[in-house]
A and B are shown apart, each in its own frame.
Chain A
């Protein structure tokens, strides 16, 4: 996809509309790993692939612009709210890192910069709202209901207290798509998988938006729960939870994504063949960030015909749902999703993905083709 420069869209204006909070008296020292910032030579390769830039059109809303802003903060520009529209609008999809000739990792740099801004007391209202929801209710959605509400009281009481395997449900499957959680757990229970007694948000929203200290508290809580259950392996169906548990949690947890688990147990699942043609959207945090490309395709092809999207695997385009962009800039986020829907091929019955955030964003973008999670396709094939 070629970017064609500044677009005079409503989405570009959304960057100026955000509410910003500046806490007085906070430290203004800005420090991130300099070497990773200076790796960027401003060649602009990222400019041709950044999905946010594609929608917004301003240089500050692409990776090169963000790296330049971070460089200037390192070199003495005082951190201020002026940099937020640039730094808060990155979805951390990582296509820039995949394409960077110099091997820079801009999403990591942007996350580190966001953490520094949090330290300096400079945040958007959306960030604060997200943090407050996670820290108050243990989930990113601010839900007050029991996280296991999708199980009956009897089912909850019968959950094994100890198991080698734990299903980490995630906020979205717990509260927005409990049917996904039910269908997933129904399969996983056959293998003796249990749930954490008190699972909380995986901390991804906090880490992506810069609240590292808060994230550590939540991660510690979840780790204690994992130890309590005695599990050595975590299975999760959310791409955001997967990358966080695998790459951000201390120690080396064994983490398996649901598509990997399903692919590994295909023979035992006794799936029917369905007369369907579907396409598959690679979630950034499962695909590009963790290179899980084959497992979901193997599952889909065991059930029905797979017709690929225009950009797949490493080239896959972001749905716009990650990095705090959906909550901070909903118009930009949904425009990204609409752009992603343009990659859908003709003649498919469903768009399948394996991340509830992608499901939500692609559904909200309002296409004609139904978006489903991979567990729904599997459930159809088991009926």
Chain B
């Protein structure tokens, strides 16, 4: 189940089996000058099937959107064995419910995807990277809001707080990163002139708020920074071998305007429970990865961790956000679905019951 069944450049789409790895798909599309844009940090190991099930997105979501923006049609095996197609190669359709969107992000609770037709996008001619540091994460958040409100939409907009930077330096000592403050990475893409113009605009907008700001000097420098950024979440142990990053409360998201507030509250929560944390994430789409790390052999730290995670989830909901922006709900965040969705959760339950009356598909997930 890992083949590319069709590369249909005329219709700007591909048909794949769900087991294909995202990087493998993009390697195959590159000679045609196209790519499948959703860009999770795990692109070297995540499957397209998993990306569809969890509506994965990643670093370039701010410009290119999430997986669901690219799914045209799915072949799905339903709980009773019926095989359906949810869409077609059409760019648009006004006929009936959009089952493609229903299945995307349903975490395997409604059916099993066995084929997917995906929209693809032309590869940009060039990419440029602006690296800016700020006195604190809140000011960095303000710089992001200001940039967007001036009408500049980067292809990626990431935050790395000072702890994340320490981790990255341990992971790859060659990396050239600002020595102080919390850092924003703005990537812009397009033609040489449009990308340069956008990068210059970002530098102009952010300069008054920044401690330092510069353009990455080479493609290699950019590639090294992105490669390290993709793995930062797992690299906490490089800083302290007795600590392990635990993936709880790690994927909250809020509207962009609320990002500075979320960053402030995340810092307060980390301090309140006396748990070291790394803050990084896709700040351009409001998605913060708060990485709390503990000594896994210490029970007290586990207790504090679960309280901190609970508070960060509830904070995100209060700020009008979500408990999961791209990692999904599964069982880990199921208890927050009621708080986030209210009566809409009942509609989800009704759908689940209609399509999977015996509850055999990924039971216990999504709080259904």
A43 x B42 contact (CB < 8 A): yes
Q: Which residues of the other chain, A, contact B20 by a CB distance below 8 angstroms?
A: 4-5
Cβ contacts under 8 Å, B258 to chain A: none
Assess whether A102 is interfacial by the CB under 8 Å rule.
yes
Within 8 A of B (CB), among A70-118: 100-104
Q: Name which residue of chain A comes closest to B243, CB basis.
A: A39
Contact with A along B10-53 (1 / 0, CB 8 A): 00000000011101100100000000000000101111000000
In the assembled complex, the CB of A336 is this many whole angstroms from the nearest CB of chain B, namely 19
**A35 in the interface, Cβ–Cβ < 8 Å?**
yes
Which of chain B's residues 241-287 have a Cβ closer than 8 Å to chain A? 241-242, 244-247
The one of A6, A100, A103 in contact with B19, judged by C-beta atoms closer than 8 angstroms, is A6
Known A3-B21, A102-B236, A103-B238: A39·B244 in contact at CB below 8 Å: yes
B47 cross-chain contacts in A, Cβ below 8 A: 5
Separation of A100 and B244 alpha carbons in the complex (Å):
13
* B235 sits at the interface (CB 8 A): yes
**B237 in the interface, Cβ–Cβ < 8 Å?**
yes
A39 and B171 alpha carbons, distance in the complex (Å): 15
- B223-242 contacts to A, CB under 8 A, are 231-238, 241-242
Does A7 lie at the interface of the complex (its beta carbon under 8 Å from any beta carbon of B)? yes
Which residues of A sit under 8 angstroms from B231, Cβ to Cβ?
43, 45, 101
Contact among A38, A39, A41, A48 for B44, CB-based, below 8 A: A48
Report B-chain residues with C-beta under 8 Å of the C-beta of A35.
Answer: 241-242, 296-297
A6 touches B244 (CB 8 A): no
Q: Does A47 contact B (CB under 8 A)?
A: yes
B245 and A44 form a contact (CB under 8 A): no
Contact in complex: A2, B237 (CB < 8 Å): no
Tell yes or no: B142 within 8 A of A by CB: no
Task: Give the B interface residue count (CB, 8 A).
Answer: 30
Size class of the A contact interface (CB-based, 8 Å) = 20 to 34
Q: Mark A1-19, 1 if CB is under 8 A from B, else 0.
A: 0111111000000000000
- Whole-angstrom distance between the Cβ of A334 and the nearest chain B Cβ: 22
Chain B nearest CB from A156 CB (Å) reads 50
Q: Please give, as numbers and ranges, the residues of chain B lying within 8 Å of A3 by CB-CB distance.
A: 21, 45
Which residue of chain B has the shortest Cβ distance to A4 in the bound complex?
Answer: B2
CB-CB under 8 A from B246, the residues of chain A are 41
Distance A38 CA – B294 CA, assembled complex (angstroms): 11
Contact call A44/B241, Cβ cutoff below 8 A: no
What separation, in Å, do the CA atoms of A34 and B241 have in the docked complex?
Answer: 12
A selection of 27 A-B contacts at a CB cut-off of 8 Å is: A4-B2, A4-B20, A4-B24, A5-B1, A5-B19, A5-B21, A5-B47, A6-B19, A34-B297, A35-B242, A39-B237, A39-B241, A39-B244, A41-B233, A41-B244, A43-B233, A44-B42, A44-B45, A45-B44, A47-B45, A48-B23, A48-B44, A48-B45, A101-B232, A102-B235, A102-B237, A103-B241
Binding site for B on A (CB under 8 A): 2-7, 34-35, 38-39, 41, 43-45, 47-48, 100-104
Closest 8 CB pairs of A and B: A5-B19, A43-B234, A101-B231, A4-B2, A101-B235, A101-B234, A48-B44, A5-B2
